[in-house]
């Protein structure tokens, strides 16, 4: 009954916008993410695999993180991301993201900085440790990861081509939330 009385309170422009027209010349992506809201802060993944923390009351960006997935092999073939994971032990708070270029990233929820002791310099290459070599562009992580206690279980997207020897094996893997 009151929908006609609603007014926009704020608008947030994606941090991807400067990359579409700037020197990177990447093609426009699809904004498909569902933001997480934790303690009055919205955490969102963008089509280009960037992450932003946005004040839910004002729409102002608190911090931004750009893993530059569009510069990685296969990074210019998928321009969408569906979301992030959140983990806390009561003291430490982390935003977890898998990128379309197989990177697993843990960011400090307050600062947006990588944890240098997570994986190698803050990033885990989820394409490593598989049974066989794969075609890198066939293994992508665009879904929000599940986090069960202290274990990250990323969901992946891969083609369904059983006759292709470069197809990823489809393993379900878990990563330690603190160390990767």
CB atoms within 10 A of CB 129: 9
Predicted confidence at residue 76, as pLDDT, reads: 61
Q: What is the pTM of this model?
A: 0.88
d(CA 74, CA 100): 8
By CB atoms closer than 10 A (0-12, 13-18, 19+), residue 56 is middle
**pLDDT confidence bin for 77, thresholds 50/70/90:** low
pLDDT digits (tens, 9 = 90+) for 94-121: 999 998 888 999 999 999 999 999 999 9
- Indicate whether 74 pLDDT > 80: no
Query: Where do runs of H (alpha helix) occur along 5-127?
Result: 17-21
CB-based contacts of 39: which residues, under 8 Å, 6+ apart? none
d(CA 85, CA 43): 9
Q: Which two tokens stand for residue 143?
A: 């879904």
Min mean pLDDT across 50-54, 78-82, 89-93 is at: 78-82
Q: Which two tokens stand for residue 120?
A: 């190698």
Predicted confidence at residue 75, as pLDDT, reads: 62
**pLDDT confidence bin for 165, thresholds 50/70/90:** low
Q: What is the mean pLDDT of residues 64-75?
A: 81
Q: Which two tokens stand for residue 33?
A: 């993410």
């Amino acid at each position: 009954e009151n929908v006609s009385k609603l007014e926009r309170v704020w608008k947030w422009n994606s941090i991807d916008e400067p990359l579409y027209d700037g020197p990177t010349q990447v093609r426009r992506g699809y904004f498909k993410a569902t933001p997480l809201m934790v303690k009055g802060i919205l955490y969102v993944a963008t089509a280009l695999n960037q992450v932003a923390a946005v004040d839910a009351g004002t729409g102002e960006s608190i911090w931004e993180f750009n893993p530059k997935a569009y510069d990685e092999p296969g990074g210019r073939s998928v321009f969408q991301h569906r979301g992030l994971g959140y983990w806390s032990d009561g003291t430490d708070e982390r935003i977890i993201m898998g990128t379309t270029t197989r990177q697993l990233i843990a960011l400090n929820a307050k600062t947006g900085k990588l944890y240098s002791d997570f994986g190698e310099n803050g990033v885990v290459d989820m394409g490593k440790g598989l049974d066989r070599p794969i075609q890198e562009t066939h293994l992508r992580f665009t879904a929000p990861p599940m986090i069960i206690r202290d274990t990250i279980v990323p969901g992946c997207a891969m083609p369904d081509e059983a006759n292709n020897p470069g197809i990823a094996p489809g393993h379900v893997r878990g990563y330690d939330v603190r160390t990767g």
